[in-house]
């Protein structure tokens, strides 16, 4: 099993969610996060004093998938989240040892 994590622009969330649902993914975890990449943040000016805001708001989407779906899911997210403008985010995939569904105690692929 794999955990696919994507950091995306907040306003791309709906598109990513719909694309994943269309692909057949039944659940995901979404959290509000902030951070910066190569483009850094932006600057704001208050009474002439300039402040650099490094951490820009992003959304983190996490999806647990079977090994064979991992690459496709990453591609689905990529397609849905891409605007081509700076700050579109990152997607990465890491292996997961075990998954348990809390309600039933099912393990592994059955729990996905």
Partner 1 sequence: MNALTLAAADTPFIDSGNTAWVLAAAALVLFMTPGLALFYGGMVRTKSVLNMMMMSFISMGTVGTVWILWGYSEAFGPDVGGGLIGNPFTHFGLKGVLDAIYGFVPATKTAAAAGGIPGPAFVAFQVVFAIIAVALVSGAIADRAKFTAWTVFTVVWATLVYFPAAHWVFAFSGYAAQTGGWIANKAGGMFLGGAGAYDFAGGTAIHINAGAAGLALALVLGKRIGFAKEPMRPHNLTLVMIGAGILWFGWFGFNAGSALGAGAQAAGVWVNTLAATCTAMLGWLLVEKLRDGHFTSLGAASGIVAGLVAITPACATVSPIGALIVGLAAGAGCALAVGLKFRFGFDDSLDVVGVHLVGGLIGTLLIGLLATKGSPTGAAGLTVNEGLFYGGGLSQLGAQALGAFSVLIFSFVVTYLIGLAIHKTMGFRVDEADEAQGVDLSEHAETAYDLSGLSGGRFGSGSAVTTTASAKTKEGAPA
Closest C-alpha among 10, 25, 33 to residue 75: 25
Closest C-alpha among 56, 45, 55 to residue 9: 56
Would you say 46 or 86 has its CB closer to partner 1? 46
Smallest gap from Cβ 15 to partner 1, in A, equals 26
Q: Is 48 in the site for partner 1 (CB under 8 A)?
A: yes
Pairing of strands 2-8, 89-95: antiparallel
Q: With CB under 8 A as the contact rule, which of the stretches 18-26, 47-55, 66-74, 86-94 interacts with partner 1?
A: 47-55
Show the tokens assigned to 99: 């998954």
Beta partners for residue 51, in sequence order: 44
Q: Which of 50, 94, 95, 104 binds partner 1 (CB under 8 A)?
A: 50
Q: Which of 49, 68, 86, 94 binds partner 1 (CB under 8 A)?
A: 49
Show the tokens assigned to 97: 């040892």
Q: Is 97 in the site for partner 1 (CB under 8 A)?
A: no
Q: Which of 21, 42, 51, 57 binds partner 1 (CB under 8 A)?
A: 51
């Amino acid at each position: 099993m794999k955990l696919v994590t994507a950091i995306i622009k907040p306003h791309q969330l709906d598109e990513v969610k719909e694309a994943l649902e269309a692909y057949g993914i039944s659940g995901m975890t979404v959290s509000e996060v902030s951070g910066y990449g190569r483009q850094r943040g932006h600057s704001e000016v208050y009474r002439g004093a300039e402040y650099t805001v490094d951490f820009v708001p992003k959304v983190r989407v996490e999806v647990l998938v079977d090994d064979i779906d991992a690459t496709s899911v990453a591609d689905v997210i990529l397609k849905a989240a891409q605007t081509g403008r700076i700050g579109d985010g990152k997607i990465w995939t890491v292996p997961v040892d075990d998954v348990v569904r809390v309600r039933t105690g099912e393990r592994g692929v059955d729990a996905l």
